[in-house]
A and B are shown apart, each in its own frame.
Chain A
């Protein structure tokens, strides 16, 4: 049943409000960071307070005002949106602590603008997760685009300027094409409300028009999710400070892109229509290609953050692939991989940032023996790496297992080979770092003394690493994200028996 409740808007609004407060308290760093942390806790509390009711099959919905003459500015907490909202609102807490440690430890400039843009990004992410129609979704999607830009050019040097431009070109072009697609869909269907299983039908337009529309729309998601060949902006955006990379690559931006693809496939076009017009298969090919190619490129990177960035490109295509396979279990896997990848990749990025701040090392080749100096950080790094590769008892396994089963469900076992290849490849680019860190002697003798990262950074790292393991053993730990994901998958594929068992 539908409950009218303003809480979704409060969850979005709290960090927007925090952004304003942050802007006005730029001269008092402690007050400023207090707003950031407080917003994180309130936001998470608001979102998590809605979880039990959503699990029981209820939906919170609220229309703040009419955004155009016919379309409302509406947020709705369906299971699919709650998965993403829970992850981003929860991870906002460790990242905001980590950001304090990192930004102060690294003596960054322009911290006020950084925290404000950061808060706006999180608002936009929650808005994207909970939007009830395409126009509301698009508003938050563009807000995210704009709010991320200051984070990308944060360093304010020529490289950052260039990365910022690259980022804007990719995202704005795809955003405008998406807008044209949204208008076309509205004219065709007369509605923009998301509906599990899609609201477009084959009799609304000729097949080629639907195919064109699908690609026009998916482009918007694929760019943010870094599906090759649209991933160019993502590694460039690495010039940003590490908490931003953690946020960009684990929580807000790229996940919003992947979530966008899931929304479009599950709630706009619907698996039945897509199976009929055959457009999703092409997307699956692109995703599969990206998974392999990104891993190969990642192996060549010496800069740890860049290596992780390419790993992100590959891992997000898991989500896209899961959505494009159109099987119930693959969609479940895709939703759960949003959770899994967020936890693991945020751990990895926070480790990389901790190394930069504590040991001032960017490149993997300089990290020989660093495990002796920062054992806890590197241990967490290892756990997360194993998870990325899909090791059982770490969270990554759960999602990959479902993705593989989904591939079987639709009778496409070849994709399992891709998943296995990717697992091996990711081991081969993530594990050498662990090996170098723990087992290679440090010739220069830099890392003899024990010097762990600042506690502001270390504790968030430990928390996310521990959660990766706990959720790997008990996927329903905490807010029952696995159940939510499977509710979402079921609602999407309900009543559609294409390529089932």
Chain B
């Protein structure tokens, strides 16, 4: 059983996704339960998988689909880094699935079934992208994730449909670019298996096709990760997506392509090659620009969700900068930030989703004294905001600490300056939110869904919100365990000293 964990992570939600509409037809709630149960299963499998890898001392676990040997067969390769990322994906997906139930209470069976199909499929796509050891298989999962992402964004209403359409156009281009790069590599090596590719490509790294592939990969994953300047689709998509799915979309959907980029550049090509280094420098410059411009744009927003969307552009920049630094600590920072940001951004979208659920309000200026009515939600808001700024001891501080340490060690002082400025810009817009929450008078919002019992929100929403808030603190206090116990085991061999 336990040797099948890698495939179960993908298989369980996939089956649930297919069954969900059917069960919904039988009973309105059944489809939902199938999906949530499958995500619980996927989460448990990923935890078990992570424990296995760590117990192995970081040695990668290979899973051959149907026992077909690579390079012909498709394999899943699990090392500590993607193990921890896939755990994060399934956990966020599970929490979002539970969190979104109150939003759907008035919808009919078809909507319910469809929604959970998309939700489970998104989880399938993202986990598959993370786990797969086959470059073409990654494309398949990329498309699964994208298509279900389009659907969930479109469910957010009329504006959501438009945003989804825009994202569909741009996202398809990204997928095609990836396919093109893959074609180049396949034409040179005749293989699609990543481990195989990495061996076969080593003596061809100067060929124009590879240089072209590097550029295409940056563009493809850049678009998918909403790296500046490829982020045009992202603010609308995040703002208008379905409020229940927003935590998953904003927290995780853009992180996995960033991880894929890490995998291609550091594991497949190897960062010692000149052109890979050039490519990483480009990613770093784009990341740094994104950090500054994303933050400045975020300051200008009044819609909380839009502000968060622009802040995501900045936060993806951190990951880009971490990759570009390309040292031991730079990579640790980048991976840690992938995890931290999923929780920070996910929790903030959950918070504003909760406010929207109860009051139908999303603009920052109307949040005055909301802490009186929703104390637990505001607790998470405060913790997440401090984490986004990078105030210790929240998780956000430590990813910044490692990235800064990496930059300082490799004497790339410009990145240090960017990080300092970025923290201050983050402070401007997050402290503005807190200022509005704590100082502004109560605007007298109308209760759309008044609380039934003593709790400020339905329990299905409140628990994920509080869990995420605590998780952000826990990620800060336990960062050493994650870094020493997990991430360091999985770093590319060049860095293991």
Contacts and interface: CB of A to CB of B under 8 A. Distances in A.
B386 interface: yes
A138 B417 CA distance: 19
A183 B408 contact: yes
A180 B405 CA distance: 9
B131 interface: no
- Between A138, A150, A180, A183, the greatest number of chain B beta carbons within 10 A of the residue's beta carbon is seen for A183
Given A142-B391, A153-B438, A66 B480 contact: yes
24 contacts: A65-B478, A67-B393, A69-B480, A69-B484, A138-B392, A143-B392, A149-B431, A153-B439, A156-B438, A156-B439, A161-B435, A161-B439, A164-B435, A168-B427, A172-B389, A172-B424, A172-B427, A173-B424, A180-B420, A183-B401, A183-B408, A187-B405, A187-B408, A187-B409
A160 interface: yes
B201 to A, nearest CB: 32
A153 B375 CA distance: 19
Interface string A136-178: 0011001101100110010010001100110010001100110
B37 interface: no
A68 B479 contact: yes
Q: Please list the 9 inter-chain residue pairs (A to B) with the smallest Cβ-Cβ separation, ordered nearest first.
A: A66-B480, A139-B392, A187-B408, A176-B420, A183-B404, A183-B408, A69-B483, A156-B439, A176-B423
Contact of A139 (B393, B409, B420, B483): B393
Interface string A56-89: 0000000001111100000000000000000000
Interface in B361-416: 375, 386, 389, 391-393, 398, 401-402, 404-405, 408-409, 416
A146 to B, nearest CB: 6
A179 B439 contact: no
A183 B375 CA distance: 36
A146 B393 CA distance: 12
A172 B393 CA distance: 15
Nearest to A153: B439
A142 B488 CA distance: 28
Nearest to A23: B375
A149 B437 CA distance: 14
Contacts of B478: 65
Contacts of A165: 431, 435
Interface string B424-468: 100100010001001100000000000000000000000000000
Contacts of A146: 386, 391
Contacts of B479: 67-68
Nearest to A140: B392
Nearest to A157: B439
B103 interface: no
A292 B391 CA distance: 35
Interface in B475-490: 477-480, 483-484, 488
Main secondary structure of the interface of B (DSSP, over half): helix
B407 to A, nearest CB: 8
- Between B332, B392, B409, B423, the greatest number of chain A beta carbons within 10 A of the residue's beta carbon is seen for B392
- Between B404, B409, B419, the greatest number of chain A beta carbons within 10 A of the residue's beta carbon is seen for B404
A138 B392 CA distance: 8
A212 to B, nearest CB: 12
A209 to B, nearest CB: 11
Given A69-B332, A183-B416, A187-B405, 15 more contacts: A66-B480, A66-B484, A67-B393, A68-B480, A68-B483, A69-B488, A138-B392, A139-B393, A142-B392, A150-B438, A168-B431, A179-B404, A180-B416, A187-B408, A187-B409
B408 A160 contact: no
A143 B488 CA distance: 29
B402 A68 contact: yes
A164 B438 CA distance: 12
A208 to B, nearest CB: 14
B497 to A, nearest CB: 12
A431 B401 CA distance: 50
A184 interface: yes
A164 B478 CA distance: 32
Interface of B: 332, 375, 386, 389, 391-393, 398, 401-402, 404-405, 408-409, 416-417, 419-420, 423-424, 427, 431, 435, 438-439, 477-480, 483-484, 488
A180 B404 contact: yes
A477 interface: no
Contacts of B409: 187
A138 B398 CA distance: 12
Contacts of A183: 401, 404-405, 408, 416
Contacts of B401: 68, 179, 183
- Between A69, A139, A153, A164, the greatest number of chain B beta carbons within 10 A of the residue's beta carbon is seen for A69
Interface string A120-150: 0000000000000000001100110110011
A75 to B, nearest CB: 14
Interface string A327-366: 0000000000000000000000000000000000000000
A164 B432 CA distance: 11
Contacts of A150: 438
A450 interface: no
Contacts of A177: 420
Interface string A168-211: 10001100110110011011000000000000000000000000
Contacts of A142: 391-392
A65 B480 contact: yes
B333 to A, nearest CB: 11
Contact of B480 (A67, A145, A168, A179): A67
A173 B426 CA distance: 12
Contacts of B408: 183-184, 186-187
- Between A68, A160, A186, the greatest number of chain B beta carbons within 10 A of the residue's beta carbon is seen for A68
A145 B416 CA distance: 22
A142 B423 CA distance: 13
Contacts of A168: 427, 431
B52 to A, nearest CB: 23
A23 B392 CA distance: 21
B477 A65 contact: yes
A493 to B, nearest CB: 31
A176 B424 contact: yes
Given A168-B427, A176-B424, A68 B439 contact: no
A142 B387 CA distance: 12
Contacts of A143: 391-393
A395 to B, nearest CB: 35
Nearest to B407: A183
A425 B435 CA distance: 39
- Between B386, B389, B401, the greatest number of chain A beta carbons within 10 A of the residue's beta carbon is seen for B401
B466 to A, nearest CB: 14
Nearest to A177: B420
A138 B386 CA distance: 15
A177 B420 CA distance: 7
A149 B439 CA distance: 12
Contacts of B477: 65
B398 A68 contact: yes
B386 to A, nearest CB: 7
Contacts of B431: 149, 165, 168
A179 B392 CA distance: 11
A168 B435 CA distance: 11
A153 B438 CA distance: 9
A188 to B, nearest CB: 9
Contacts of A184: 408
Nearest to B400: A179
A187 B402 CA distance: 12
A67 B478 CA distance: 8
B434 to A, nearest CB: 8
A139 B484 CA distance: 21
A130 B232 CA distance: 49
Given A138-B392, A164-B435, A176-B424, A186 B480 contact: no
Nearest to B432: A165
Contacts of A160: 439
A156 B386 CA distance: 21
A132 to B, nearest CB: 16
A7 to B, nearest CB: 20
